[in-house]
Chain A
Amino acid sequence: DAGVIQSPRHEVTEMGQEVTLRCKPISGHNSLFWYRQTMMRGLELLIYFNNNVPIDDSGMPEDRFSAKMPNASFSTLKIQPSEPRDSAVYFCASSLGGSQGYTFGSGTRLTVV
């Protein structure tokens, strides 16, 4: 099992540009979660999906952030336009359902300059 796969591992972009982060969950997992980690705020849940349907997006900071899950094996988190304060490590995690077998990817380190 390759685990949760995120791409890219690192992204450096200029303020105002669109950024798209990608995640492939573990096969068979039906829940997917996007987290953001910063020194100031720790690990924050942004949004999660059950069976490809967004369940709770209350953690999404602003309308500049959007997430999609077009099928069971792929999800994207998009920031448009990006701002320097969006700089953080973004993690994707997937689970068998609810909290069972919760597994994190290696993260995408985003730097907006």
Chain B
Amino acid sequence: GESVGLHLPTLSVQEGDNSIINCAYSNSASDYFIWYKQESGKGPQFIIDIRSNMDKRQGQRVTVLLNKTVKHLSLQIAATQPGDSAVYFCAEASNQGGKLIFGQGTELSVKP
């Protein structure tokens, strides 16, 4: 029979509102963090990254916040648009290795 898939956490927002997507990471040795956006049928696309010596970084309409004390990462999207609808993944890496470890993902749904 068919496997029952994981139900991704979902965030539903109104167009024009701000969105905040959260992520908890597990490895205290991780020193590099990235947010990816994945649209249906496509590979993950880089949005913004942050190194562990920073606690905030801003891009165009996006801001990433890092709290190393509680191992928490968040992505803020300002003035959310329908084109922002996608699954968002956080990923962590250590400079001692090249591999990225991905979180579960959050599905963002923007209502017009």
Give chain A's interface residues, CB within 8 Å of chain B.
4, 31, 33, 38-40, 42-43, 45, 48, 50, 55-56, 91, 93, 95, 97-99, 102-107
Contact = CB atoms under 8 A, between A and B. Distances in A.
B45 interface: yes
Contact of A95 (B42, B98, B103, B105): B98
Contact of B34 (A31, A38, A55, A102): A102
Nearest to B105: A42
In the A-B complex, list the 7 residue pairs whose CB atoms are closest, starting with the nearest. A39-B5, A104-B43, A98-B98, A43-B102, A99-B93, A31-B98, A104-B44
Interface string B1-41: 00101100000000000000000000000001010100001
A45 B100 contact: yes
User: Which of under 10, 10 to 19, 20 to 34, or 35 or more describes the interface residues of B?
Assistant: 20 to 34
- Interface secondary structure of A, over-half rule: strand
B6 A98 contact: no
Contacts of A56: 97, 99
